[in-house]
């Protein structure tokens, strides 16, 4: 089983064609988890995720007047875009480079085990979270100094990050367990003469999931960067 591609035919064992972000579709394909369609509209689902303190803070950010903070330093949009691109490329290299070294180390072992890959995945998740969080805060600071309207947008984003970060971490934290099941299935189905071919296939699948997760984590950064371009 290789890396997901939209051009690949849908496997017979899949129940339905899952719609949504690549990250969700890829996990559904690799793990046979039925994501299905959401049973509630987004506002209803958000109301379940936000507690009353976060809801009040969000309401205040949306309805209240937030004044821009005066800033002396100019922040050219191109410079910020270049920094975001640099950070993203660094994370891509960490995913595609070091991950291969771990995979080769497992191949050399007598009993392939998912534990080293689980550790690597969680390490990369922490790195993605740290770097995107820093970029998000940096862009919010710049927006907050731009205009009252942009300051309100920055405040809304800050409240949403605080309110949803716990749920995001919980959901993303389940990904290694889903990949562990995929790892076990490939290992059990492998022929004795595979010589690590199944593990190489898993490595590519895991790398694809990491890159798709990186796309998801960068969406708020890209949205703030797009807002910065409209100043």
Secondary structure (DSSP) of 108-124: HSSS--SHHHHHHHHHH
Q: What does the alpha-carbon distance between residue 79 and residue 229 come to, in Å, rounded to a whole number?
A: 11
| 10 domain-assigned | no
User: Do the domain assignments include residue 27?
Assistant: no
Which of 117, 114, 139, 102 is closest to 231 using CA atoms? 139
Could you tell me which residue, 106 or 136, shows the higher pLDDT? 136
Whether 224 maps to a domain, the answer reads: yes
Tokens of 146: 């731009």
d(Cα 95, Cα 101) in Å, to the nearest integer?
11
193-222 pLDDT, tens digit each: 776 788 888 989 999 999 999 999 999 999
In a domain, 35, yes or no: no
* Residue 37 located in a structural domain: no
Q: What is the mean pLDDT of residues 113-139?
A: 93
Assess if residue 4 is contained within a domain: no
**CB distance 98 to 120 below 8 Å:** yes
Q: What is the pTM of this model?
A: 0.75
In a domain, 20, yes or no: no
Q: Which of 42-56, 125-139, 180-194 has the highest mean pLDDT?
A: 125-139
Q: What separation, in Å, do the N-terminal and C-terminal C-alpha atoms of the chain show?
A: 46
To the nearest whole percent, how much of the chain has pLDDT over 70?
Answer: 65
Least confident range from 125-134, 145-154, 189-198, 222-231: namely 189-198
Residue 47: domain span: 42-229
Count of domains observed in the chain: 1
């Amino acid at each position: 089983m290789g890396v997901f591609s939209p051009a690949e035919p849908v496997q017979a064992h899949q129940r339905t064609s899952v719609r949504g972000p690549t990250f969700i579709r890829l996990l559904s394909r690799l793990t046979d988890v039925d994501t299905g369609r959401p049973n509630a509209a987004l506002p209803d689902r958000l109301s379940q995720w936000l507690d009353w303190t976060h809801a009040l803070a969000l309401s205040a950010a949306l309805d209240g007047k937030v004044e821009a903070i005066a800033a002396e330093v100019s922040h050219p949009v191109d410079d910020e875009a270049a920094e975001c691109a640099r950070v993203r490329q660094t994370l891509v290299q960490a995913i595609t480079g070091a991950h291969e070294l771990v995979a080769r180390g497992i191949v050399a072992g007598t009993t392939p085990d998912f534990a080293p890959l689980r550790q690597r995945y969680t390490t990369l998740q922490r790195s993605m979270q740290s770097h995107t969080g820093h970029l998000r805060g940096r862009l919010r600071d710049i927006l907050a100094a731009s205009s009252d309207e942009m300051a309100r947008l920055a405040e809304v984003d800050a409240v949403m990050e605080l309110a949803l970060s716990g749920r995001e971490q919980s959901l993303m934290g389940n990904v290694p367990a889903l990949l562990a099941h995929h790892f076990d299935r490939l290992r059990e189905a492998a022929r004795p003469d595979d010589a690590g071919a199944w593990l190489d296939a898993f490595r590519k699948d895991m790398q694809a999931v990491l890159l798709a997760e990186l796309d998801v984590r960068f969406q708020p950064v890209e949205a703030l960067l797009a807002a910065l371009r409209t100043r």
